[in-house]
Amino acid sequence: MLHINKIRENKESYIALLKVKNMDATDLIIHAIAKDDERKATQQKADELLTKGNQLAKQIGELYKTGKAAEANALKDESSTIKESSKALQAKQAELEKEIQDILVQIPNVPHPSVPQGKSDENNITIKEVGAISALMKGAKPHWELTTDYNLIDFELGNKITGAGFPVYVNKGAKLQRALIAYFLDKNIAAGYTEYLPPHVVNEASGFGTGQLPKFEEDLYKIPSDIDLYLIPTAEVPITNFFRDVIVKGFPIKCTAYTPCFRREAGSYGKEVRGLNRLHQFDKVEIVQIQHPEKSYETLDVMVNHVASILNELELPYKILQLCGGDLSFSSALTFDFEVYSAGQERWLEVSSVSNFESYQANRLKLRYKDENGKMQLCHTLNGSALALPRIYAALIENNQTAEGIKIPKALQPYTGFDIIK
């Protein structure tokens, strides 16, 4: 959530930058500032009444001391009126603060000035492309056929017990999935991240803190209960909320976690959403950093390089894209996507997004630190997939299919215990 004071100070530049995200926030920003003006005026009146009330209380006390009870009683009536007026002003102020917040949660984070304008992936900028795209053997197959041929994943069984988008991994297919999770976690831990295993369910405050609520509630799986609970869409949500209402005493804070992720996003028909390409439940290993504002963009580059190093070891062709404004998430200021080449489908698949949210989430979370002058400031938050498993899995088995079987990259062999699936 953008801070109202920052909006006031940067009104014109924020309006211009949000147009890069294809949003005209002019009316919302003007409305928020007008409500904040009204809140300030109400606060001033309340402060004036408080001062006057304190002065009257002092006068009343002095009059009683000097035996002037009649005069004191007359002032008490005026004091009672002031108290009632103060209560009304406090209620009005609380109402205005809620109205301001209701406006602010509708305004997305402003993009970094380097973000290109555009409405689709055609406007994303390719920063780097790594690895050669190898020609596969004649008769090469997409992963949804390979997983059936090699008995790695049972999509029909998942559909039977739950529904479409909930696959069941089988035998060596399950072991390959487990190997990838362990490998990703080990790589992250070696890079200085502390591993966590958080709950897979969060409350409403956690969803609000990272920006999923209230705007994207329809994308979440909600659990009927005495309190509003939601299945997590990513480990970013519980991990970042570890630090809600926290005053950080040292940077950086580096966390990683494996979790299943749950998303209600509806898929269309066709090969673009077939098999593992789009699921309602999938596994992902996440990295999160809490960083000082002056170092967050340097940290973003380090996180991007870390994800690239994992893909290098997996020997997958990939490219790094800087997202245009239209593709940026609601909370992100700058995002780099990773796409791997899926040879069986002959297309690029997104496998990771690495983002800097600047202080947008921190403002919602009240995640702060004390600067050198002892003044409270908002931290910056960053997160990335390291990595999302379904499309990595799909690309791995498609790209490594041979007449002898599916070969396992050397980096994974210590985790799988086998070098080929026959």
pLDDT at 134: 81
Q: What is the mean pLDDT of residues 309-317?
A: 98
Q: 323's torsion region: left (phi>0), alpha (psi -120 to 50) or beta?
A: beta
Q: Within 10 Å of residue 411's Cβ, how many Cβ atoms?
A: 15
Q: Within 10 Å of residue 249's Cβ, how many Cβ atoms?
A: 8
State yes or no: pLDDT of 128 exceeds 80: yes
pLDDT at 271: 56
Instruction: Please state, for a pLDDT cut of 70, what percent of the chain lies above it.
Output: 99
**When comparing pLDDT for 270 and 300, which is higher?**
300
* Dihedral of alpha carbons 4, 8, 9, 11, sign: positive
Q: What is the mean pLDDT of residues 100-110?
A: 97
| Residue 339, strand partner residues | 319, 350
Decide: 75 and 60 in contact? Cβ < 8 Å. Answer: yes
Task: Give pLDDT tens digits for 353-410.
Answer: 999 999 999 999 999 999 999 999 999 999 999 999 999 999 999 999 999 999 999 9
Task: Give pLDDT tens digits for 220-278.
Answer: 999 988 889 999 999 999 999 999 999 999 999 999 999 999 999 754 455 578 999 99
Instruction: Please state, for a pLDDT cut of 90, what percent of the chain lies above it.
Output: 85
| 80-112 core/surface letters (b: 16 or more CB in 10 A; e: else) | eebeeebeebeebbeebbebbeebbbebbbbbb
State yes or no: pLDDT of 47 exceeds 60: yes
Whole-Å CA distances, 81 to 49, 50, 78: 10, 12, 5
pLDDT at 79: 83
pLDDT at 268: 46
Q: Which CATH superfamily is domain 121-421 in?
A: Bira Bifunctional Protein; Domain 2 (3.30.930.10)
Question: Domain ranges in the chain?
Answer: 4-104, 121-421
Task: Give pLDDT tens digits for 138-192.
Answer: 889 999 999 999 999 999 999 999 999 999 999 999 999 999 999 999 999 999 9
pLDDT at 270: 55
Q: How far is CA 196 from the centre of its chain?
A: 17
Angle at 262 between CA 407 and CA 253, to 5 degrees: 85
State yes or no: pLDDT of 1 exceeds 60: yes
Cis previous bond, 252, omega within 30: yes
User: What is the rounded average pLDDT for all residues in the chain?
Assistant: 94
Q: Could you tell me which of 341, 352, 394, 339 has the C-alpha nearest to residue 133?
A: 341
Q: What fold does the segment set 4-104 form as a domain?
A: Helix Hairpins (1.10.287)
The torsion defined by the Cα of 151, 154, 155 and 160, in degrees rounded to 10, comes to: 150
